[in-house]
């Protein structure tokens, strides 16, 4: 599982949105090319004006698609960066836990050694008492 999402999937969405922008831009260009048809009349002039107005609207839409694709790419990059930071933090936490476990194990070993020393001292003192008592 990828925390926060899969950057490659987000980039794929960005590519798809960018492709839509290119398709819309291409179709709009073809439509605008039709305004160059040799048609002379008041209706033709109004038709060309209408085409130019629609071309501006389509340009705004295409720009929005491209902006959305750019933002998706930025999101994918941010996800990758944050996932790397999280991965580094988790690795550091794992190392810290291992260090703590090693320290506890070392401490337990030292406690065992001290307890063993006390036991030997106690056994020696017990023998001394028994010797003194003649037993």
Separation between Cα atoms, residue 113 and residue 69, nearest integer Å: 65
Overall domain count for the chain: 1
8, 48, 14: which is closest to 32 by C-alpha?
A: 48
Q: Is residue 1 part of a domain?
A: no
User: What is the structure's pLDDT at 9?
Assistant: 93
Give pLDDT tens digits for 65-115.
999 999 999 999 999 998 888 888 888 887 787 777 777 777 666 666 767
User: What is the structure's pLDDT at 67?
Assistant: 95
User: What is the structure's pLDDT at 2?
Assistant: 61
Separation between Cα atoms, residue 78 and residue 95, nearest integer Å: 26
Give pLDDT tens digits for 86-97.
888 888 887 787
Q: Is residue 2 part of a domain?
A: no
Give pLDDT tens digits for 23-77.
998 888 877 776 666 778 888 888 888 888 888 888 899 999 999 999 999 999 9
Q: Is residue 112 part of a domain?
A: yes
Q: What's the half-sphere exposure (Cβ side, CA atoms, 13 Å) at 81?
A: 6
Q: Is residue 75 part of a domain?
A: yes
Is residue 4 scored above 60 in pLDDT?
Answer: yes
Domain that holds residue 99: 7-132
User: What is the structure's pLDDT at 66?
Assistant: 95
Q: Is residue 37 part of a domain?
A: yes
């Amino acid at each position: 599982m990828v925390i926060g999402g899969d950057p490659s999937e987000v980039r794929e969405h960005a590519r798809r949105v960018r492709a839509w922008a290119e398709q819309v831009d291409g179709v709009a260009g073809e439509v605008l090319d039709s305004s160059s048809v040799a048609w002379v009349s008041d209706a033709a002039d109004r038709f060309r004006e209408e085409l130019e107005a629609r071309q501006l609207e389509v340009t705004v839409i295409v720009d929005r698609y491209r902006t959305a694709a750019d933002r998706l790419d930025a999101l994918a990059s941010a996800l990758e960066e944050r996932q790397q930071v999280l991965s580094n933090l988790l690795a550091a936490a794992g190392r810290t836990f291992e260090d703590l476990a090693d320290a506890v194990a070392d401490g337990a070993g030292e406690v065992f050694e001290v307890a063993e020393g006390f036991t030997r001292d106690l056994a020696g003192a017990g023998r001394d008492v028994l010797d003194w008592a003649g037993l």
